[in-house]
């Protein structure tokens, strides 16, 4: 198992200090091998002994073994940085692996049923997560009514949450380099009584327990910038599952929308 998968698998059994150390490892996966174990402990605000216990809990003898693990991942097509022009074939292979690792079937089913049956549905995403949230909203609105997107330009979120309650749902898209206040928003969304689905990369694992459904989706690939190919693929699969879950009403809505497109001449 990859180190991020090991952290996800063991997270519930880790002590609070080990979870804090694990969050630091996830934040620095791209350049983890450039640090010493003591430096990582300082970054995490934990003791060197805690960091060593974490390595053992993850199945590594020590940090040297972690470095070897990371080198093996890069050899398999996940370099930390790219020198010169990227190899397109390697990039495609890495993207395919990321898509294959995205989310479990059970979590996908649970999320689809929540989104299909919710009264109101709010989709939220900031920064690089916003295009993913926008695409998800655009797909879901084909299958059901009452889907809104936030934040929009000039918009704050308090009034959006004020309308939500039990029977509603919020999809929070939160890929890494999330804005300050992200955790507080997640708590506020949960406090409304609405069901919360969190879509994010493994660095959001410490927040996953706050959500009702956790859809883990990797964005780290072989290039210098994060890749959202797996995230967009997840949007397509999730929207398709919602369409199927809603059945005939969703198909009737798709037909009605298509007739409206034709009447207005909006699409070719």
The tokens for 75 are 């050899």
Give the mean pLDDT of 103-129: 86
- Classify strands 213-216 and 195-200 as parallel, antiparallel or unpaired: parallel
User: What pLDDT was estimated at residue 260?
Assistant: 80
Pick the more confident residue, 130 or 163.
130
CA distance 189 to 183: 10
Count of positions (residues) in the chain: 268
Q: Which residue has the higher pLDDT, 265 or 85?
A: 265
pLDDT in tens, 220-229: 665 566 777 8
Residue scoring higher pLDDT (56 or 90): 56
pLDDT at 7 over 50: yes
User: Is the confidence at residue 48, as pLDDT, over 70?
Assistant: yes
Lowest mean pLDDT among 78-82, 218-222, 243-247: 78-82
Task: Quickly state the pLDDT bin for 230 (edges 50, 70, 90).
Answer: confident
For the chain, domains (ranges, CATH) are 3-76 (1.10.10.10), 102-264 (3.40.50.10490)
Q: How high is the pLDDT of residue 172?
A: 93
172 DSSP β-pair partners: 124, 198
Radius of gyration (C-alpha) of the chain in whole angstroms: 20
> Rounded to an integer, what distance in angstroms lies between the CA atom of residue 161 and that of residue 185?
9
Rounded to whole angstroms, the Cα distance separating 93 from 195 reads: 35
Mean pLDDT across the stretch 43-58? Answer: 90
- Quote the tokens at residue 248: 């005939």
Q: Is 70 a residue whose pLDDT tops 70?
A: yes
Contact 128, 217 (CB under 8 A): no
**Residue recorded with tokens 């890749």:** 227
182 closest CA partner among 142, 153, 155, 151: 151
**CA separation, residue 202 to residues 48, 159, 205, 207 (Å):** 23, 30, 5, 10
Does the pLDDT at position 124 exceed 50? yes
Give percent of the chain with pLDDT exceeding 90. Answer: 16
For residue 76, the model assigns a pLDDT of 39
Q: Which of 223, 214, 144, 141 is nearest to 173 (CA)?
A: 214
Residues 6+ apart with CB under 8 A from 267: 261
* Residue 117, number of CB atoms within 10 A of its CB: 15
Q: How many angstroms separate the CA atoms of 139 and 257, rounded? A: 12
190 preceded by a cis bond (ω within 30 of 0): no
Q: What is the pLDDT of residue 45?
A: 92
Return the structure tokens found at 2. 């990859």
End-to-end Cα separation, the chain, in angstroms: 47
DSSP β-ladder status, 213-216 and 169-173 = unpaired
List the single range of 70-84, 117-131, 195-209 with lowest mean pLDDT: 70-84
Which helix H or strand E contains 191, and what residues bound it? helix 182-191
| pLDDT of 78 over the 60 cut | no
């Amino acid at each position: 198992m990859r180190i991020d998968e090991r952290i996800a698998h063991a997270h519930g059994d880790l002590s609070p200090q080990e979870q804090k150390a694990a969050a630091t490892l996830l934040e620095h996966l791209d350049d983890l091998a450039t640090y010493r174990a003591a430096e990582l402990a300082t970054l995490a605000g934990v003791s060197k002994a805690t960091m060593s216990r974490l390595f053992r809990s993850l199945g590594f003898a020590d940090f040297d073994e972690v470095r070897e693990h990371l080198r093996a991942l890069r050899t398999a097509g996940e370099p930390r940085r790219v020198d010169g022009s990227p190899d397109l074939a390697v990039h495609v292979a890495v993207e395919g692996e990321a898509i294959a690792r995205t989310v479990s079937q059970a979590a996908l089913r649970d999320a689809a049923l929540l989104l299909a049956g919710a009264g109101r549905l709010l989709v939220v995403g900031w920064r690089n997560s916003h295009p993913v949230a926008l695409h998800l909203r655009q797909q879901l609105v084909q299958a059901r009514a009452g889907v809104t997107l936030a934040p929009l330009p000039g918009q704050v979120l308090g009034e959006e949450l004020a309308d939500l309650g039990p029977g509603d749902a919020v999809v929070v898209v939160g890929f890494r380099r999330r804005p300050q206040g992200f955790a507080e928003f997640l708590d506020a969304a949960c406090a409304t009584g609405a069901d919360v689905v969190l879509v994010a990369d493994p660095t959001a694992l410490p927040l996953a327990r706050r959500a009702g459904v956790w859809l883990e989706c990797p964005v780290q690939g072989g290039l210098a910038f994060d890749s959202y190919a797996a995230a967009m693929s997840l949007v397509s699969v999730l929207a398709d599952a919602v369409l199927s879950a809603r059945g005939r009403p969703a198909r009737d809505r798709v037909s009605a929308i298509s007739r409206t497109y034709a009447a207005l001449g909006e699409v070719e």
